[in-house]
Amino acid sequence: MNNYLAIVEYDGTGFNGFQIQPEGTRTVQEELVRAISTVLGHDMIIQYAGRTDAGVHARGQVINFKIGPELDLYRFKWSVNRILPEDIGIKTIRKIPLSFDARRNAKFREYKYYVVNADYQSVFLKKYSILVTRRLDMRLMKRAARIFVGKKDFASFASPSLSGVSTIRRIYSFTVTRDNEDVIIFRVTANSFLYNMVRIMVGTILEAGKGKKSLEDIRQAITSGGVSFASSMAPARGLFLTRVEY
C-alpha cells in the first residue's frame, strides 16, 4: 500500500464548497475524486486538510489518498490535470508515510483575504477580492487583528448554526498589510477554524477600519461570547486557503 500527498489549487467561484454534497451540487472534492478514479480505474477515497465553503478559493489545499500500486507521479499528475476542469489543478504530488492524514496531521492552516481599498477594482481582481471605496484605517485594523491572536473562545465569530462544537481555537498570527496597488491582505494562521470564522473576523476588522466597530467591541465579544458578529461576514470571493503546515 502507498500513500500520496497532493497540493491542489482551485478557483472556488463555480463550486458549492469543497466537500461532496448531494447529487447535482458541484464541489471540488467530487471533481477530484472523479478525475483520480478515472485515471486509476476504480473508485477512490481522498482525505483533505480543509473544508472550504462555497465561493472560497485555494492555492494550497492538501489531499492524500492510498493505493496499492506505486505511481509514476509525473504521468499521474499530467493525466489527472488533463481530466480536471480548468478551475482545478494538482500542483505537486509526492509519496508519504502510510500513517499520514491530511486533516489529522495538520499543525496549522493559513488563509488570506484580499480587499481592494480604492475607487476602482481591476476586472482581473473582481473574482478574487472585494472593493471598499471608503479609506480604511490601517493602523486601527492592525490593532484589531492582534486582539484575535491566542487561544480564545470564538463563539461570537462563527456561524450561529454551530451546535455541540467547541468554539475554542488558537490563532497563531493575524496580520493586515497593504501592497503598492491599494490591495489590503489579511493573513491569519490557526490550528483550525470554525465555520465562516475567517470571513466574520475579516468583516469585523473592516467595520473597525470604517469606524463602525471599536476595539473594545471586539474584546468584549471574545470575552463574553454573548453576541454574534456573523452579520459582519465578508463575501467568500476574497478568501483563499493558502497553506497547510505539517
CA distances from 185 to 36, 99, 119, 177 (A): 34, 35, 17, 5
Name which of 186, 201, 199 is nearest 234 in CA terms: 199
- Give 3-state DSSP helix, strand, coil % of the chain, rounded to 5: 30, 30, 45
Dist. CA 17–CA 134, nearest whole Å: 30
Dist. CA 30–CA 18, nearest whole Å: 8
The one catalytic residue in 43, 53, 87, 101 is 53
Q: Which three cell numbers stand for residue 146?
A: 492582534
Q: Is 53 a catalytic site residue?
A: yes
Q: Are 149 and 174 in contact (CB under 8 A)?
A: yes
Q: Which three cell numbers stand for residue 140?
A: 486601527
Q: Catalytic residue positions?
A: 53
